[in-house]
């Protein structure tokens, strides 16, 4: 049987995805400063010319890679692991913790820190970072459904910022068991707050 | 009147402090990757040879600069602004927030993130980071005095990790007002937890 014919658009979209995955890999392995567009292209099996057809600069490529990773994780959660039932907020916190304990968090922290002293990167990153923040909040609004929207936003923002801090702790080799204990304490605090 | 005679040791200690201050300045302005030992020496008015008499590598210089900054802030707080009275825990949280909103936090986050992909820096930074963590905990134990030590450690660790996350938010240009509101929420949660 002949392989299905791929359109130009399908090929372009696959190439783009391969480039973005290679970008995340490099960023996580080498950090922002240690990553070059040349190495990303080599990993993705693309020439520099073919890459520039998709993204013009390292800063744009990196920002789109973060967005791509976020969207892939969010799609996967919505498609297969959306929590239900009365403890869905608690399960939702676990999902957020999972997202903040892995590649997404490492990539995001690398970019945020690099963006502090890199104006071009900051210009690309800020609107994407805000959009991802809003998407996360919207996800939790739909998940929890009932209750005070401002209250949910406060809990979510405290949780996100705590998890960012814990992600930093993990990045520098802090103790796993201590982080797990802090997560349990935090869930107890949040649930008590909602109950009280 | 003649200037007081400075011993060799005094001169060396002043040179060391000047070098460490210049290191923090460069780190905050340019980030870890963008900082060179040559520029630090230039700002401190030292030759490379004179610098190498004090510190052998960029990683060592950076780690000692973080330690120096922490010690200076801690000494200043203990000497002039140690909170007293029944609301000393709340005031203590404000002091920690202040420490995590400024230069110390920016310098620490730069080094933590760089250390993830730089083994030499990680080797220098990890023991210093642990020692500073213990010193902070010890400070709060003495400040609060009474109560359950494990409980205080949990509250402090949650607070430190939340503040690390909020420091990242500030680094990428997040909203000041929102961070202030989250700080107020957090203090209310901590104080209710201790009361309840």
Spell out the residues 6+ positions from residue B186 whose beta carbon is closer than 8 angstroms to its own: A158, B93, B159, B162
CB B92 within 8 A of CB B143: yes
* Interval A151-175 mean pLDDT: 88
Best of A99, A102, A164, A165 to substitute, by most chain B Cβ atoms within 10 angstroms, is A165
Mean pLDDT for all residues in chain B: 88
Asked whether the predicted pLDDT for residue A2 surpasses 80, the reply is no
What is the pLDDT, as a whole number, of residue A169? Answer: 87
* Interval B166-191 mean pLDDT: 89
What is the pLDDT, as a whole number, of residue B130? Answer: 87
What is the pLDDT, as a whole number, of residue B138? Answer: 87
In a domain, residue B161? The reply is yes
Per CB-CB distance under 8 Å, the chain B contacts of A126 are 172-173
Taking residue B14's Cβ as centre, other Cβ atoms within 10 Å add up to 11
Q: In 3-state terms, what secondary structure has residue A175?
A: coil
Smallest CA–CA separation between B49 and chain A, in Å? Answer: 28
* CA–CA separation, B167 and A120 (whole Å): 21
Strand (E) or helix (H) holding B155: helix B149-171
Beta-carbon separation of A178 and B157 below 8 A: yes
Asked whether the predicted pLDDT for residue A20 surpasses 80, the reply is yes
In a domain, residue B36? The reply is no
Stronger pLDDT, A146 or B11, i.e. the higher one: B11
ipTM above 0.90 for this complex: no
Task: Please tell me which residue of chain A has the smallest CA distance to B121.
Answer: A172
Domain count, chain A: 1
Residues of A with CB under 8 A from a CB of B: 29-34, 106, 109-110, 112-118, 122, 125-126, 129, 154, 157-158, 160-166, 168-169, 171-173, 178, 181-182, 185-186, 189, 193, 196
Per CB-CB distance under 8 Å, the chain B contacts of A193 are 189
CB B157 within 8 A of CB A178: yes
Task: Please tell me which residue of chain B has the smallest CA distance to A161.
Answer: B165
What is the pLDDT, as a whole number, of residue B4? Answer: 63
Most confident of A16-25, A173-182, B124-133: A16-25
Range of the domain at A158: 58-195
Alpha carbon distances (Å) from B19 to A181, B6, B148: 40, 18, 42
**Which has the minimum average pLDDT: A37-41, A134-138, B25-29, B160-164?**
A134-138
In a domain, residue B83? The reply is yes
Per CB-CB distance under 8 Å, the chain A contacts of B193 are 189
Alpha carbon distances (Å) from A12 to A6, A60, B99: 10, 17, 48
In a domain, residue B39? The reply is no
* Interval A98-114 mean pLDDT: 89
In a domain, residue B13? The reply is no
In a domain, residue B127? The reply is yes
Mean pLDDT for all residues in chain A: 88
Best of A39, A58, A162 to substitute, by most chain B Cβ atoms within 10 angstroms, is A162
Tokens, residue B176: 């000041």
**Which has the minimum average pLDDT: A53-62, B88-97, B137-146?**
B137-146
* CA–CA separation, B161 and B97 (whole Å): 11
Tokens, residue B171: 């680094």
In a domain, residue B65? The reply is yes
Size of interface A-B (CB pairs under 8 A): 117
Stronger pLDDT, B34 or A49, i.e. the higher one: B34
Beta-carbon separation of A169 and B161 below 8 A: yes
Task: Please tell me which residue of chain A has the smallest CA distance to B158.
Answer: A182
| Three-state secondary structure string covering A70-135 | HHHHHHHHHHHCCCCCCCHHHHHHHHHHHHCCCHHHHHHHHHHHHHHCCHHHHHHHHHHHHHHHHH
CA-based max dimension of chain A: 64
Q: Give the nearest partner residue to A117 out of B31, B118, B178, using CB atoms.
A: B31
Residues B70-106 pLDDT 10s: 998 888 888 877 888 888 888 889 988 888 878 888 9
What is the pLDDT, as a whole number, of residue B83? Answer: 84
* CA–CA separation, A78 and A127 (whole Å): 23
Asked whether the predicted pLDDT for residue A3 surpasses 70, the reply is no
Smallest CA–CA separation between B15 and chain A, in Å? Answer: 28
Beta-carbon separation of A172 and B117 below 8 A: no
* Interval A28-50 mean pLDDT: 93
Q: How far is CA B104 from the centre of its chain?
A: 4
- A5: phi then psi, degrees, rounded to nearest 5: -70, 130
Q: How far is CA B161 from the centre of its chain?
A: 14
Stronger pLDDT, A48 or A30, i.e. the higher one: A30
Residue A45: exposure state from Cβ atoms within 10 A (0-12, 13-18, ≥19): exposed
* CA–CA separation, B18 and B31 (whole Å): 19
Tokens, residue B159: 């607070």
In a domain, residue B11? The reply is no
């Amino acid at each position: 049987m002949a392989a299905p014919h791929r359109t130009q658009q399908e090929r372009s979209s696959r190439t783009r995805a391969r480039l973005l995955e290679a970008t995340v890999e490099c960023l996580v392995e080498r950090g922002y400063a240690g990553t070059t567009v040349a190495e990303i292209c080599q990993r993705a099996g693309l020439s520099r010319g073919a890459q520039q057809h998709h993204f013009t600069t390292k800063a744009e490529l990196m920002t789109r890679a973060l967005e791509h990773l976020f969207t892939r994780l969010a799609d996967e959660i919505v498609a297969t692991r959306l929590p239900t039932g009365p403890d869905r907020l608690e399960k939702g916190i676990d999902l957020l913790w999972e997202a903040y304990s892995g590649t997404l968090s490492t990539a995001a922290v690398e970019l945020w820190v690099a963006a502090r002293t890199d104006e071009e990167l900051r210009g690309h990153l800020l609107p994407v970072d805000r959009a991802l923040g809003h998407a996360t909040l919207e996800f939790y609004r739909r998940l929890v459904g009932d209750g005070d929207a401002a209250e949910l936003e406060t809990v979510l923002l405290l949780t996100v910022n705590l998890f960012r801090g814990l992600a930093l702790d993990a990045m520098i080799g802090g103790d796993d068991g201590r982080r797990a204990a802090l997560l349990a304490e935090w869930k107890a605090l949040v649930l008590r707050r909602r109950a009280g």
